Chains A and B, each alone.
Chain A
Amino acid sequence: MTHSVIREAPPAGADAPVTASNPRLRWILLAVGLVAALALPWFIYPPVAMDIVALALFAIALDILLGFTGLLSFGHAAFWGSSAYVTGLIATHYGVPFPVAVIGGAVFAMILALPIGYVSVRRSGIYFAMVTLAFAQMVYFIGYQWSDLTGGENGLQGVPRSFFGIELVETESFYFYYAALPILLFGMWAAWRIVHSPFGRVLVSIRDNTPRARALGYDADKYKAVAFVLSAGLTGLAGGVFAINHGFVALTELHWTTSGDVVLMTVLGGIGTLWGGIVGAFLTVTLADYLASSGFHGIDLITGSVFVLVVLLFRRGIWGTVRHRWNIRRLRRASARAGQGYSSPDGNSRHTTSGEGTGR
């Protein structure tokens, strides 16, 4: 998969979604994913399970920019954290059911993303990353200084979990998980929809070749800005659920390390894959949780090493590598069936005309 962050030649349909070869596979994957999501709190402490799904949506939202638009945002903590605060504040002050508060947080994140996106997309590459980081630092500073509202360093304490008076959900994190899961699953579906829409195709074209897209009449900056705002909105959904899940918003949620963590998760899982975000979030959170519960103090040391290893050995990320291998096998089998192996008119490519190589 090509994009502006890690450049490599597109290997001939090998980075197409695995579902492209077999539409049934999409449903199988979705069913497996859904069952896994539903079963998760039976096996993992429910608040941790909730964190996994929320962070998975966070990573997927980032992937819309990183994988499909070619923009590395290093300031997504601003949207995650500000939505967490706004959700917490709405829940605290208005006592509304938590989904309403979460939607409020997500809307706030989108409003915040409008000016930030408008300005940042004027730059690309490392400059884009730095501008988003700088904005996020400003938001962090506001969260830190405005302690009357945010609690400053102490964080926002005692965020209630109101849910239409259904006490089980309000008190038991196991049931809360199932109440909040639809919001996050909706967010993931929305990300998939965006990527596979006419808009998503324009994003990929901008990622692949911006001047050409502009010559076709596409205002690249405007498309990037819309993608940025949509990504921020989905990030906001995730951040809001995260806040309600913990009943507390820490200043860390706005900190730049949060922006860094989500980039790591997305890259670990594989950029431009969507599924990779889920894999990345699952691994990162369960690993950190396991290490923390075993009393180990160098969590970052271990997760950092895992990250380095994965990126060195599988630069497509975990899901990206699985997908790549799967497609290579499939293409080989297809050309074996075709007898001689497919030879294209330029005579050096053995791959079949796979009509699905959009990198999505």
Chain B
Amino acid sequence: MTPGGRVAIRTRALTKVFRGFRAVDAVDLEVREGSVHALVGPNGAGKTTLFNLLTGFLAPTSGTITVFDEDVTGLPPERVARRGVARSFQITSLFDTLTCREHVELALQGHSRQGFRFWRSEKLLGRHRARVDELLAQVGLMSLADKQAGLLAYGQKRALELALVLALDPPVMLLDEPTAGMGIEDVDRTIELVRRLASGRTVVFVDHNMHVVGSLADRVTVLQQGKILAEGGYDEVRRDERVITAYLGEAEHA
């Protein structure tokens, strides 16, 4: 987790206005390559909007986004994904009728550009088998490989989310509340997992759980009302007066 020299994601004066409401307001964010960067802030601070901007699910009102110095402002989500920025979703977002294995195959297949082969059998995807097994094993879903995602328990769905992100082998991973709604054991397991997955990658994540933020993040950006309130290491940020009044003080007890 040694921060490299390059900047993985940089935003300049990034702004998103919804009918007059400035959800993200002139944000200058800099995520160094190889770092694990947390975005925190109270509800409605603009974290998820910022995520959606970074991954192309929303187009910014103004400002720019670059990924490894390439401009990705306004690109659609699939093209941002193909630039190596993979995301997970806050609300578990899977394909209910596909099995775990098929999920991972789907992610791998997009990565290897086989998606348009309508004249081939889907058995073609069997060639990814070893890699699929490896990914499912990494997130602890090997025994459930042939189970439909709609039937998984909550924690398992979150793990499958991670497997999907991982299958894209992205230089940059954006995890939207990877531990949302989890019990304590699952949270600790997920922290371990993310820590393992983070090596050699840049990770940006949103989480409300300060235990998660404290255990994972090299760097924390605190958002409030769409603006950056404070930024720095976890300990540095948690001692910041403004942050304590705005957010951390109350969240600590949660």
Which A residues have a C-beta under 8 Å from some C-beta of B? 1-2, 9-10, 12-13, 15, 193-194, 196-202, 204-205, 208-209, 211-220, 223, 226, 230, 344-346, 349, 351, 353-355, 357-359
Contact (A215, B81) CB under 8 Å given A204-B98, A346-B152? yes
Contact in complex: A197, B152 (CB < 8 Å): no
Identify which of residues 69-125 in chain B touch chain A, using a CB-to-CB cut-off of 8 Å.
76-79, 81-82, 86-87, 89, 93-99, 101-102, 105-107, 109-111, 114-122, 124-125
Query: Which of A205, A220, A351, A354 makes the CB contact (< 8 A) with B78?
Result: A220
**Complex formed: what's the CA distance from A199 to B116 in Å?**
5
Q: What are 15 A-to-B residue pairs whose CB atoms are below 8 Å? A: A1-B97, A193-B118, A197-B120, A201-B125, A205-B95, A208-B96, A212-B94, A214-B78, A214-B81, A215-B78, A217-B110, A218-B115, A219-B76, A354-B146, A357-B99
Interface membership of chain B positions 153-188, coded 1 if the CB is closer than 8 angstroms to chain A and 0 otherwise = 110100000001000100000000000000000000
**Complex formed: what's the CA distance from A194 to B168 in Å?**
24
Contact in complex: A355, B99 (CB < 8 Å): yes
Beyond A197-B118, A211-B77, A214-B57, list 10 extra A-B contacts (CB 8 Å): A196-B121, A197-B122, A199-B116, A202-B115, A209-B94, A215-B55, A216-B106, A220-B78, A351-B151, A357-B99
**Complex formed: what's the CA distance from A198 to B81 in Å?**
19
**Chain A nearest Cβ from B89, distance in angstroms:** 7
- Residue of A198, A218, A358 with most chain B CB atoms under a 10 A cut-off: A198
Residues of A within 8 A of B119 (CB): 193-194, 197
Which B residues have a C-beta under 8 Å from some C-beta of A? 55, 57, 76-79, 81-82, 86-87, 89, 93-99, 101-102, 105-107, 109-111, 114-122, 124-125, 144-148, 150-154, 156, 164, 168
Contact in complex: A211, B93 (CB < 8 Å): yes
Contact (A205, B96) CB under 8 Å given A218-B115, A345-B156? no
Residues of A within 8 A of B146 (CB): 353-355
**Chain B nearest Cβ from A146, distance in angstroms:** 33
The A/B interface has a contact count, at CB < 8 Å, of 150
**Complex formed: what's the CA distance from A63 to B79 in Å?**
29
Contact in complex: A345, B153 (CB < 8 Å): yes
7 pairs of A and B residues whose beta carbons are closest in the complex: A355-B146, A199-B118, A346-B153, A217-B81, A208-B95, A359-B97, A214-B77
**Chain A nearest Cβ from B126, distance in angstroms:** 11
Residues of A within 8 A of B164 (CB): 212, 216
Query: Which of A15, A212, A230 makes the CB contact (< 8 A) with B118?
Result: A230
Closest to B103 in A: A205
**Complex formed: what's the CA distance from A215 to B52 in Å?**
11
**Complex formed: what's the CA distance from A226 to B116 in Å?**
8
**Complex formed: what's the CA distance from A230 to B151 in Å?**
33
Residues of A within 8 A of B168 (CB): 216-217
Residues of A within 8 A of B144 (CB): 345, 353
